[in-house]
């Protein structure tokens, strides 16, 4: 029943905005930006005056810089999960301290029991409240892993968009 009410409201808001005789308005949500909320261009409005915002369950900034990742690793303040395939780690190298969980196994791995996770991946299973940083070769697979972990209820997840390529470029590969 409540869902029907939401759908009705969603259908009414665009008409209210479009039919408003008030000057240009910017609709702003209290949420973070990923989806979008309704905004309508009214006569005389510039694009700078329209700033649609959205809702998301992701943190405001899910990217971790090279420097931040180094500090997190040094402090042991994050679980770093490399989502590349094992052959990629053998061929190219890996970030010391990272746990290898290939992207295709992330969803299943994050739903295992702690003992089973430790047995399969050789590390403690991250808790849903732990800071988890995903990494890969260039930041594409790690973003997918971040989205997967978020959908499973993990709260403090981030990714290193530069991935292994940035790690090597910054001179950490020996």
| 136 among known catalytic residues | yes
Q: Using CB atoms within 10 Å of the CB of residue 47, give its burial: 0 to 12 exposed, 13 to 18 middle, 19+ buried.
A: exposed
In the set 6, 24, 45, 136, the catalytic residue is: 136
The backbone torsions φ and ψ at residue 44, rounded to the nearest 5 degrees and listed phi first, read 90, -5
Ranges of H-type helices in the chain: 2-18, 66-75, 86-92, 106-109, 114-121, 140-151, 163-169
Distance (Å, whole) CA 159 – CA 31: 21
- Number of Cβ within a 10 Å radius of residue 62: 21
Catalytic positions are 136
């Amino acid at each position: 029943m409540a869902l029907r009410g939401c759908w009705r409201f969603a259908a009414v808001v665009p008409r209210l905005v479009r039919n408003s005789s008030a000057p240009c308005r910017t609709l702003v949500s209290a949420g973070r930006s990923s989806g979008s909320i309704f905004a309508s261009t009214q006569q005389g409005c510039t694009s700078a005056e329209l700033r649609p915002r959205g809702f998301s369950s992701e943190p405001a900034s899910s990217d971790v810089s090279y420097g931040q990742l180094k500090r997190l690793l040094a402090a042991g303040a994050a679980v770093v999960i490399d989502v590349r395939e094992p052959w990629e780690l053998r061929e190219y190298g890996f970030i010391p301290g990272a746990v290898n969980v290939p992207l295709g196994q992330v969803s299943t791995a994050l739903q295992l029991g702690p003992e089973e996770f430790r047995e399969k991946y050789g590390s403690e299973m991250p808790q849903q409240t732990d800071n988890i940083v995903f990494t890969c070769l260039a930041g594409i697979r790690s973003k997918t892993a971040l989205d997967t972990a978020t959908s499973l209820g993990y709260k403090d997840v981030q990714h290193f968009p530069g991935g292994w390529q940035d790690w090597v470029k910054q001179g950490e590969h020996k």
